[in-house]
Amino acid sequence: MAEGLPVTVTITKVVKESPGVTTVFFDREFESCIGQFVMVWVEGTDEIPMALSYKNAITIQRVGDATTRLVAMKPGEKLGIRGPFGNGFRLHGKILAISGGAGTAPLLRVGLECPDVTFLMGARTADELIFHKMLTEKCDVRVATDDGSAGFHGYVAGLLDEISLDEYDTIVVCGPDPMMRSVLSVLQKRSSLEKSQFSMHRYMKCGVGVCGSCCMDPDGLCVCRDGPIFSGLSLQNSELGKYHRNAAGLKEK
Ligand SMILES: Cc1cc2nc3c(=O)[nH]c(=O)nc-3n(C[C@H](O)[C@H](O)[C@H](O)COP(=O)(O)OP(=O)(O)OC[C@H]3O[C@@H](n4cnc5c(N)ncnc54)[C@H](O)[C@@H]3O)c2cc1C
Ligand code: FES
């Protein structure tokens, strides 16, 4: 497929996963490594990066204009898709997946397609857990909720206390920046950073390493071109969990 040109797809199904998260399926599968992303053109609104939760679907958390339009779309409507772009996870052996909130979506295929996975899943409330039932049928799932309405009462990083990290060959992480920073700190203290990979989300415009809007401090690594998957070792001294840049390039906490 020509990477620079959007492919037009037709929406076939829309599934509400939780009050704020919706999966949109389309009529084409995109061959991709788990962890790669596509740029989704929402006509009349914007083009935004999204992980492929399935080869033919994206799972969207509503936060602003484009995501609000996306979750309101109906079967038969059309989207433009560019990509897939970026690197993917390097997955081998026994895998520990750690997600927070909508960060479960980019890791869904890890749980569904890889043979030996333990999945630690965090959300604010039981209502906000996504893909829980489906993943429970495929792998060992453990849950944490901020309000204690399901599983462990606390943040997902707290579940690591009951995990023997030495048993795992690969650790993959996706979620809000503060959650990923606290997981990174635990892995650092327990000498397991070298086998960890984090899926980073930053504001993107071009998606192909040209505009600089997704670059991270201090090294200027582009999330679109050099990521979105980064080793825990490479993120130790990064901006992760401290700030990110908005559409105007200004730092936001
Ligand atoms: C590689 C990659 C994969 C992604 N995968 C998913 C996914 O599977 N599901 C999903 O729901 N979202 C995903 N995102 C995030 C998604 O791209 C943003 O939520 C979306 O661009 C917001 O667009 P908007 O117009 O709705 O909101 P905007 O009006 O653009 O922004 C609303 C708020 O979200 C913040 N924001 C916007 N974009 C980002 C971003 N990329 N990272 C952090 N904060 C941001 C803005 O600063 C603002 O505070 C991914 C991002 C990247 C970079
Ligand atoms: S989005 Fe333009 S450099 Fe990454």
Written as six digits, the tokens of 248 are 């105007």
Residue type at position 21: V
Residue 139 neighbours by CB distance under 10 Å: 17
Q: 221 CB under 6 A from ligand 2?
A: no
Sequence-distant (6+) residues with CB within 8 A of 237 are 218
**Per-residue pLDDT reduced to its tens digit, 113-137:** 999 999 999 999 999 999 999 999 9
Mean pLDDT score of the chain: 95
Enumerate the domain spans of the chain: 7-85
pLDDT in tens, 135-178: 999 999 999 999 999 999 999 999 999 999 999 999 999 999 99
The C-alpha R_g of the chain, in whole angstroms, comes to: 17
pLDDT for position 177: 96
Q: pLDDT digits over 173-208, tens only? A: 999 999 999 999 999 999 999 999 999 999 999 888
Q: Domain 7-85 - what CATH class?
A: mainly beta
Whole-angstrom distance, CA of residue 159 vs CA of residue 152? 7
Mean pLDDT of 98-126: 97
Backbone phi, then psi, for 184, in 5-degree steps? -60, -40
Mode of pairing for the β-strands spanning 95-100 and 117-123:
parallel
Q: How far is the CA of 215 from the centre of ligand 2 (A)?
A: 7
- Ligand 1 residue neighbourhood (C-beta within 6 Å): 37, 46, 48-51, 58-61, 63-67, 102, 105-106, 201-204, 223, 228, 244, 246, 252
Residue 37 CA to ligand 2 center (angstroms) comes to: 13
**What number of residues does the chain have?**
253
Instruction: Round to whole Å and give the CA distance between 123 and 103.
Output: 10
CA gap 164, 190 in Å, rounded: 10
